[in-house]
Structure 1
Amino acid sequence: MKRLVLFGECLLAGLLTALLALPLVTLLPALAAGCAHIRAHVDGETTAVRAYFARFRAAFPGSLKLSLAVVAAFAVAIVDGLFLRAAVPGGAFVAAFAGLAAVTLSVVLLRAAATWSPGRSWPDLVRQAAARAATSDPSGSLLLVMALALLVLVTWQLLPLALPMLGCVLMAAVAVERRYAVILARP
């Protein structure tokens, strides 16, 4: 029964995160609220929809410029990947590099969102997440890459599963950061 409840929370977090991320400039606070929602469920705190929106509002200050930069970076990666692959000799290499850049950016954003708490600065969160992703915990980053690959695979096979899978990716981000905290706590 508990597993079904966790799946329900993943579905709710995925749905709300997808809805709130639609304007694109709200991507970071939506991811942070989704991760905080999953974290609250695991910790036994309130997971009411009102609490999700309160977390979203708390995560929004200071995120606008960074969200715009993230959306622009994803747009550049998509344009490079699609147009250069078809139009330029050697474009397949550029497309692969653009895909790798998009995955790397996604991992860093998920790690930053999973560690967000009220009052934390978004630039600091992203900087720390990039350091963890690259040097401190590359195995955790690989776990998130696998979660993202599973999201793409399952969504490609059956589009309605995108929402619960998004919630599962948020849960994976929270789990990776908790795993990292446990590793740090070891003597």
Structure 2
Amino acid sequence: MAAIARPRRQAFGEGFALFAECLLTGVWFALAAIPVVTVPAALAAASRHLRAFSEGDPTSWGSFWADFREAWRTGWKTGLAMIGAALVLSLNLAVLAQEGVPGRPGFALATFVVAGLAATVLLRAAAEWAPGERWRDLFARALDGTRTDLGGTGILLGGVAVLAATAWALWLLAVPMAGCLAGAAVAVRRRALQRAEEDAGE
């Protein structure tokens, strides 16, 4: 009995430590994302930090900010594109909020779905980021993963919905939840890699 209980306690401790690290990383992410245009770089740094932590590699506050600076240096255009896309979607919702627009519910739902899918693509790209990677290549792989890994896409869409709901209820909750969402992206990435290895082994 003791031999069985010890691994369970250890697994619980490791899982709780990862959860706590996700919450802390959410705070770091929020600080880095204050200018808004830096959101992709902040996500990339947060995901790489959590990836290293989950794999037992050395990582720290300093390495997070070093990754953030590198991701921003190569990905500032991505931040501008993200803001542009968000403005277009927001304008679309503002138009749909007006009375007399035909098919408002359907178009509003489609807008939210597009926004959610765009967020999942960004999360997948950020989870893949490493120094030297080109964002164009990251988004190409993220789009392919979004299309082929429907289970992972569903997980990330659910995470985006939970983040939106918690932010709507109490905006401060979005800070720790952002770290959890980055952790979900890292988990989806690992899940896809494990499936690819299993398929290759067969």
Q: Is the 8 A contact 1:85 1:92 kept in 2?
A: no
Question: Amino acid of the residue matched to residue 68 of structure 1?
Answer: L
CA RMSD of aligned residues (A): 1.5
Q: 52-61 or 152-161: which moved more?
A: 152-161
**Aligned equivalents of 1:72, 1:177: Cα separation in 2:** 27
Question: Amino acid of the residue matched to residue 117 of structure 1?
Answer: A
**Large movers: runs of 4+ above 4 Å:** none
Q: Are 2:133 and 1:120 equivalent residues in the alignment?
A: yes
Aligned counterpart for 1:108 among listed residues 98, 103, 121 = 121
Displacement of 1:138 after TM fit? Answer: 1.5
Question: Amino acid of the residue matched to residue 143 of structure 1?
Answer: I
Q: Is the 8 A contact 1:59 1:118 kept in 2?
A: yes
Residues 130-145 of structure 1: pairs in structure 2 closer than 5 A: 130-134=143-147, 136-145=148-157
The runs of 5 or more residues in structure 1 that have no matched partner are none
Q: Are 2:77 and 1:65 equivalent residues in the alignment?
A: yes
**Aligned equivalents of 1:67, 1:164: Cα separation in 2:** 21
**Aligned equivalents of 2:80, 2:170: Cα separation in 1:** 30
| Structure-2-length-normalised TM-score | 0.86
Q: 154-163 or 26-35: which moved more?
A: 154-163
| Structure-1-length-normalised TM-score | 0.92
Q: Secondary structure of 2:188's partner?
A: helix
**Aligned equivalents of 2:182, 2:81: Cα separation in 1:** 21
The runs of 5 or more residues in structure 2 that have no matched partner are 1-12
Displacement of 1:90 after TM fit? Answer: 2.1
Question: Amino acid of the residue matched to residue 38 of structure 2?
Answer: T
Question: Amino acid of the residue matched to residue 106 of structure 1?
Answer: A
Q: Are 2:87 and 1:89 equivalent residues in the alignment?
A: no
Q: Which residue matches 1:161?
A: 173
